Copies of this chain bind each other. A is one copy, B any other.
Amino acid sequence: MPPDPSSIVCPVSTADAEVITLGHGGGGGLTRSLIEGMFLPAFADPALEARLDAGMVDLGDARLAFTTDTYVVSPPFFAGGDIGMLAVHGTVNDLAACAARPLFMSVGLILEEGFPMSSLRRVVESLAREAAAVGMRIVAGDTKVVERGKGDGIFVSASGIGLVQVDPRPGPDRIEEGDAILVSGDIGRHGVAVLATREGLAFETEIESDTAPLWDLVRALLDAGIELRCMRDPTRGGAATALVEIAEMAQCTIELDEPAVPVEPQVQGACELLGLDPLYVACEGRMLFVIPPGQASAALAGIRSHPLGRSGAVIGRVGERGTARVLMRSSIGSTRIIDLLSGEQLPRIC
């Protein structure tokens, strides 16, 4: 006789016995296991499955990009920026990576009891100033307060709506062999700046966050007729993680030229001191571009002529299709594979 179905107890899966760790928020392998193992199957939506910086959806004749991020950066004020600037810039850059003009933004605040009103005012002023600077309207908001010890000063959630300006939209599916990979500027400054503020580290020269809104730079390239096949802003997990994700989604090899990757000497020095690889350190004002090879020079000129792209560079090319991997060729000709970090390199960097 078969057993009574109600008497069957499913074994608890290993995954369900687990708890959340800091690594699940790091943007690397553990974050991906959450996304692929839980969120995508549950929400089952093509806009999510496309894994772009924003969800793209059609509404009438318009194609919208819709993005959300929560910001838990610690500390909320750091060299070169604050959590309010990050929230606006992160929203703008996620939309810009979808070639979408930023239109509307919402702001949710989770405040801890005892957070100074003067600090809140500074964050709100940053939000207002930075949004106005890119012509994005803040049209919805919410504020919650949690008891002392149940939060950490201030968390900000931000969502944005943009209008996609090109058809076909940019995305990894449009990448072709031979395409050039460009970055809009030197990498790793944001993560190092936050870490330095957090730990009270003093370097010879203060390293400031690169946080900046990149829509104007992206628009300049679109206006110049550059075909932006794919874009991604390298935040959590840095340029390495963003490029691995692109390679996996496009199922292609990406070949990077290590000496071409722009890293400021003081950032390089700080990373060596801290045991970090700048390729994995978050930027908040940089964009990665995949561009047809014939347009690489024009694109680089366009990037460098913009105030936010002075240190832009061509850093690699798309190799053969069929194998998803990122290869880094060093100045002495050796090659190493760049992979996702499995855990967390720098918690609470954004």
Report which A residues bind B (CB closer than 8 A). Answer: 12, 15-26, 31, 34-35, 38-39, 42-45, 47-48, 54-55, 57, 59-62, 64, 66-72, 74, 103-104, 106-118, 120-121, 124-125, 127-128, 131, 137-147, 149-152, 155, 157, 159, 161, 163, 347-348
Q: Known contacts A42-B124, A114-B19; is A47 also within 8 Å of B106 by CB?
A: no
* Given contacts A42-B127, A59-B103, A157-B108, A68 and B117 within 8 Å (CB-CB): no
Check A140–B108 contact: CB distance below 8 A: no
Sample of 18 A–B contacts (CB below 8 Å):
A15-B117, A18-B116, A19-B113, A19-B117, A24-B143, A24-B145, A25-B143, A25-B146, A57-B137, A59-B59, A60-B61, A60-B62, A68-B106, A70-B110, A74-B150, A106-B159, A144-B348, A146-B348
Closest to A344 in B: B145
Chain B residues whose C-beta falls within 8 Å of the C-beta of A55 in the assembled complex? 104, 106, 139-140
Interface majority SS (helix, strand, loop, mixed), chain A: mixed
Q: Is there contact, CB below 8 Å, between A66 and B106?
A: yes
Q: Are B113 and A20 in contact (CB under 8 A)?
A: yes
The residue that A142 contacts in the complex, of B12, B26, B69, B146, with Cβ under 8 A, is: B69
List the B side residues contacting A117 at CB < 8 Å.
15-20
Q: Nearest chain B CB to A68's CB is how many angstroms away? A: 4
Instruction: Collect the chain B residues with CB atoms within 8 Å of residue A139's CB.
Output: 45, 47-48, 55, 57, 66
Residues of chain B lying within 8 A (CB to CB) of residue A155: 110, 144, 155
